[in-house]
Amino acid sequence: MCEGGSCSMPTGPVAHDHQDCTSVMAEVWTLLDGECNDDTRARLQQHLEECPACLRQYGVEERVKRLIATKCSGEKAPDTLRARLRLEISRTTIIRHN
């Protein structure tokens, strides 16, 4: 029972929210097109580390990690890497209302 006030959201340890995964992958798109910013990078890296299910589902972790590393080190991601990632992400991402 909750005492003196409203229950705050329980912080479930493994309450995995797929919505989160989707938005994370959306950020990968951002990274593909734009430049790295600390916020996006931190969120992506954290999620990829905390979410093996996501890694397995998308199966692009190595490339994503490489993209993050490349982008965030100020280099330009090679076109081949970008093209590959685009293809793979679009394949594995559920595209709604296309």
For binding to Zn ion (CB under 5 A), which residues are involved?
Answer: 21, 51, 54
- Length of the chain equals 98
If the CB atoms of residues 1 and 94 are measured against Zn ion, the closer one turns out to be 94
Least Å from the CB of residue 76 to Zn ion: 27
Min dist. Cβ of residue 96 to Zn ion (A): 18
d(CA 96, CA 30): 18
Minimum distance of Zn ion from residue 80's CB (angstroms): 26
61 contacts 48 by C-beta, under 8 angstroms: yes
